[in-house]
Amino acid sequence: MKQQWWKEAVAYEIYPRSFMDSNGDGIGDLAGILSKLDYLKELGVSLLWICPIFPSPNDDNGYDISDYQGIQPEFGTMDEFDALLAAVHARGMRLMLDLVLNHTSDEHPWFIDSRSSRTSAKRDWYIWRDGRNGGPPNNWESIFKGPAWEFDEVTGQYYLHIFSRKQPDLNWTNPAVTEAFSHIIRWWLDKGVDGFRLDAVSHMKKDPLFADARRLKGAPPPFSMKKYMNVPGILDIVDRLFQRSFNLYADAVTVGEANGVKAARALEWVGEEQRRMSMLFSFEHLDLWEDEAGTRLDVPALKKALFSWQKALNGKGWNALFIENHDIARVVSSWGDDTRYRAESATTLATLYFLLQGTPFIYQGQELGMTNFPFRSIDEFNDIRDRNTFLHHIQQGMSPAAALKTVARVARDNSRTPMQWDASKNAGFTSGTPWLKVNPNHTTINVDEESRDPKSVLNYYKQLIALRKRFPTLVYGATTPVLPDHPRLVAYTRHDAKSRILVLCNASNRPSRYHNPETPLLLHDALLLANRPVPRHATLTGVILQPWEARVYRLK
């Protein structure tokens, strides 16, 4: 398998609003990130991904961009960005930005021009249609709830927005749009940025007929996204853009957010021969989160999702590995046990995904085992998706208390609360009033406390990162699932000509027995990492893994 810097990297996602505030306005900023680079370096990560930092009216916190070549004033200036980039590079790390291609803000000059008249030169940069029978052009629904079309009085037509109404979708069948974005991408890469995370790429192509979506039985969601997600022909759009931008820069990294792309088709997106994206954020295992009913983790389903990607890409393409990001609730609260086994489950969940083949991503605070927020009122939510979902449930007849409980479990704001640096007021994030409440548990879960505790989640992450650096097998080696049907254990080996490493995780609250004739002797001397003390006498026949216990062995 071809060696590349981004395959060897460990990545770290920063949600800039919530990472570190340098000037007391309660909003994280670029100078704040700069002040924490040494922390990140010491953690061991080598590739930073910062969520959008461009000017934005903040309807969706930066994912509604009004200028792709500027810096959001709340975050700082272009000079501060240049200083940050230089400081990242000076520490031997790389920087990836977040590019929203599917839509802009409705306050972007392109859209302002586009909506001004039917004959505007930019009219066709967006998707405008006449209504049907006094209503929207078709039945498509927004991913943030409600119709995906907004009527515009000025010209008497509807525009498409598959996210919020302040995020109009671009028309990627128009070559001028491709040209504009090729220019923007080259401009940033020429500046020295190392690559991009590509937001919502699988939505860029819409059904050319704009036919009605099929209604699905049962809710949510009561509609199919097939007409505007992963529509055939999407890769032609990607190719036209890549040929004029990323493919001119051999070293640039790209990670596409690809809702709807299954393992079976993954090679078309990231196969090395294709010259498309470096990696994809898959949603197959994410779908196991999005359960408002709060069903517990389905371990076999998780293994099926993860291992199918490992198998599909081995030797031919590359995985992006992640279990948290700014769009999902905290993993330790969703899949782990954030009361009885917080540290144990946080470290087991870390082990089970981190040592797979691919580039591991850590979302800020994940390395501390940060938990969901104890929401008590809808006023505590900032996120447009969370608020719309709450209203949607109320409209469907749910009581406010039930709606709050349902939304709180999966709310994106769970992972957007400020980073917990220390036990002081506001967790050391700001000297002012934070834009989103700090989790009250910052008094015990924080960087300061955890750096001093050798058994902390933070120190476990450091060991995990160091281990991956020590064994190239953990980077490039192949993955073989072990006991794939076991209901609670997640186990696999990573192997190449040099070594064979066994990863063993008990993803449950129950003790579980590991027995496998193919890995006969688990000697204590061969133990590379463990999240609990391991008795010296442990051999195969007697391996009982305690609740949320994880071990990594080097095999003969």
Nearer Cβ to ligand GLC (36/203): 203
Q: How far is the CB of 75 from Ca ion (least distance, A)?
A: 8
Indicate if 74 belongs to the active site: no
Q: Tell me the helix, strand and coil percentages in the chain, rounded to 5.
A: 35, 15, 50
Query: Which residue in the shown chain puts its C-beta closest to ligand GLC?
Result: 63
Place of tokens 């996602």: 13
Paired sense of beta strands 157-160 and 128-129, if any: antiparallel
CA angle 494, 500, 506 (to 5 degrees): 60
Radius of gyration (C-alpha) of the chain in whole angstroms? 23
Q: Considering only residues 81, 140, 163, 322, which one is a binding residue for ligand GLC as defined by CB under 6 A?
A: 163
Q: How far apart are CA 454 and CA 249, in angstroms?
A: 42
Nearer Cβ to ligand GLC (185/522): 185
Nearer Cβ to Ca ion (18/167): 18
Residues β-bridged to residue 334: none
Cis status of the peptide bond prior to 533, with omega within 30 of 0: no
Q: How far is the CB of 100 from ligand GLC (least distance, A)?
A: 5
100: contact with ligand GLC by CB under 6 A: yes
Place of tokens 């272009």: 78
Q: How far apart are CA 357 and CA 494, in angstroms?
A: 8
14: contact with ligand GLC by CB under 6 A: no
The token duo for 529 is: 């990492």
Residue ranges in contact with Ca ion by CB under 5 A? 21, 23, 25, 27, 29
* Cβ–Cβ under 8 Å, residues 206 and 228: yes
Choose from Ca ion, ligand GLC, none: what does 200 bind? Cβ within 5-8 Å by kind: ligand GLC
The token duo for 227 is: 């007409």
Nearer Cβ to Ca ion (158/435): 435
Which of 21, 98, 257, 386 is flagged as catalytic? 257
Distance of CA 515 to the CA centre of its chain: 34
Choose from ligand GLC, Ca ion, none: what does 292 bind? Cβ within 5-8 Å by kind: none
Question: With contacts defined by CB under 6 A, how many residues of the chain interact with ligand GLC?
Answer: 9
* Cβ–Cβ under 8 Å, residues 355 and 468: yes
Place of tokens 């959008």: 52
Which of 74, 169, 199, 413 is flagged as catalytic? 199
Interface characters, 204-243, with ligand GLC (x: CB under 6 A): ----------------------------------------
Q: Considering only residues 12, 63, 140, 363, which one is a binding residue for ligand GLC as defined by CB under 6 A?
A: 63
Residues β-bridged to residue 195: 96, 253
Q: How far is the CB of 143 from ligand GLC (least distance, A)?
A: 8
For ligand GLC, the binding residues in 300-339 under the rule CB under 6 A are: 326-327
Choose from ligand GLC, Ca ion, none: what does 29 bind? Cβ within 5-8 Å by kind: Ca ion
For ligand GLC, the binding residues in 170-199 under the rule CB under 6 A are: 199
Indicate if 236 belongs to the active site: no
Nearer Cβ to ligand GLC (257/337): 257
Residues β-bridged to residue 223: 215
Say which amino acid occupies 160: L
Residues in the chain: 556
Where in the sequence numbering do the catalytic residues fall? 199, 257
- Summarize as ranges the residues that interact with ligand GLC (CB under 6 A): 60, 63, 100, 163, 199-200, 257, 326-327
